[in-house]
Amino acid sequence: MTSQHLPFRLLAVLVLSLWASLCTAKTLALTFDDGFNPGTQPDAAQWNAQILAALHTHQITAALFPSLARMGGTDGLGLVKAWAQAGHLVGNHTASHRSLADPKVSLDWFIADVQAADAAIRDLPTFTPMLRFPYLKEGDTQAKRDGMRAWMAKNSYRNAPVSIDASDWYYNIVYTAHLKAGDADKAGRVKQAYIRHLLNRAEYYDQLAYKVLGRSPAHVMLLHTNQINAAALPAVIAALTTSGWQVTSTRSAFQDPLYAQTPDTLPAGESIIWSLAKALDFPKLRYPAEDSVYEEPLLREAGLLP
């Protein structure tokens, strides 16, 4: 082969390498539930700013799904506005943060609760009519599940499912307990365990997606606005990137056809991938899919429980 052919051969190798990397790339978007409450969380503004700063530094456009109950009504609205001003999607997480899977919660009451939250946040510049169900629970009966789906379709609302669920809320409880006790060392070790937990859950749901969908979708990860994420988010993003994940925008991820699926499961909810696996009668799916009962023994074994 003459030397003049080498550049073309090199170009072909580079193109094939790029194609292979794109085909194997794992992507996810970050979404945060609840919102901070300045009335009960003295450091709410600081934590909110820390999360937004981490997203800005890494040029990530995420989403916030605030619940009026979790943000102290309108007390936390200014912090939610900061998300909108930074260009992040703002959706609806209901006013009262009650589960539609609760037998005491009727469909009519739940719809009114969604509408109350909608009225409070609709004027924000990046508000998008998407509903993140509290606790990812979409109904304990077919009437409630299908009734809510019909209401959303009629009112131009989309569901905002997640594909990667995780128990960040529980790690936050343990983390903050150590900080309150003045044990910064254990708090730091919990933070490292938390990062490993997120990587583990991301890999689990990606592998489950391959079994259910035959591909790796644009994932949506569920996180919450809390102290551990305010402290750990830069390290979480770095760990995800190092592990081969590309963090994409939430709007882009929700374009994946995965999130238009309506699994036929009862009680309805959990990760959208978990729900599809359940509808296909996959074996060994734990329920609830993510909960403190799975994480507590691991932290106890590591000597990290308060």
CATH number at residue 78: 3.20.20.370
Q: Is the pLDDT of residue 21 over 50?
A: no
Please state, in angstroms and rounded to a whole number, the distance separating the CA atoms of residues 258 and 107.
Answer: 25
CB-based contacts of 301: which residues, under 8 Å, 6+ apart?
none
**The whole model's pTM is what?**
0.92
Kindly state whether residue 78 falls inside one of the protein's structural domains: yes
Span 8-19, average pLDDT: 42
Number of domains comprising the chain: 1
At 100, the pLDDT band (50, 70, 90 cuts) reads very high
Kindly state whether residue 16 falls inside one of the protein's structural domains: no
Give pLDDT tens digits for 177-234: 999 999 999 999 999 999 999 999 999 999 999 999 999 999 999 999 999 999 999 9
Kindly state whether residue 110 falls inside one of the protein's structural domains: yes
pLDDT for res 3: 43
What range does the domain containing 214 cover? 28-301
At 102, the pLDDT band (50, 70, 90 cuts) reads very high
Q: Is the pLDDT of residue 16 over 50?
A: no
pLDDT for res 74: 87
At 19, the pLDDT band (50, 70, 90 cuts) reads very low
At 24, the pLDDT band (50, 70, 90 cuts) reads low
Span 68-79, average pLDDT: 95
Kindly state whether residue 251 falls inside one of the protein's structural domains: yes
Kindly state whether residue 144 falls inside one of the protein's structural domains: yes
Give pLDDT tens digits for 104-141: 999 999 999 999 999 999 999 999 999 999 999 999 99
Please state, in angstroms and rounded to a whole number, the distance separating the CA atoms of residues 219 and 207.
Answer: 12
Please state, in angstroms and rounded to a whole number, the distance separating the CA atoms of residues 306 and 303.
Answer: 9
Exposure string for 171-198, b = 16+ CB within 10 A, e = fewer:
bbbbbbebbeeeeeebbebbbebbbebb
pLDDT for res 192: 98
Q: Is the pLDDT of residue 282 over 50?
A: yes
Kindly state whether residue 159 falls inside one of the protein's structural domains: yes
pLDDT for res 25: 80
Span 269-281, average pLDDT: 98
Q: State the chain's mean pLDDT as an integer.
A: 93
Cβ contact 120:68 at 8 Å: yes
Q: Is the pLDDT of residue 18 over 80?
A: no
Kindly state whether residue 14 falls inside one of the protein's structural domains: no
Alpha helices in the chain (DSSP H): 6-24, 44-57, 77-85, 107-121, 142-154, 168-180, 184-213, 227-242, 250-253, 272-279, 292-301
Kindly state whether residue 15 falls inside one of the protein's structural domains: no
Q: Is the pLDDT of residue 68 over 90?
A: yes
At 241, the pLDDT band (50, 70, 90 cuts) reads very high
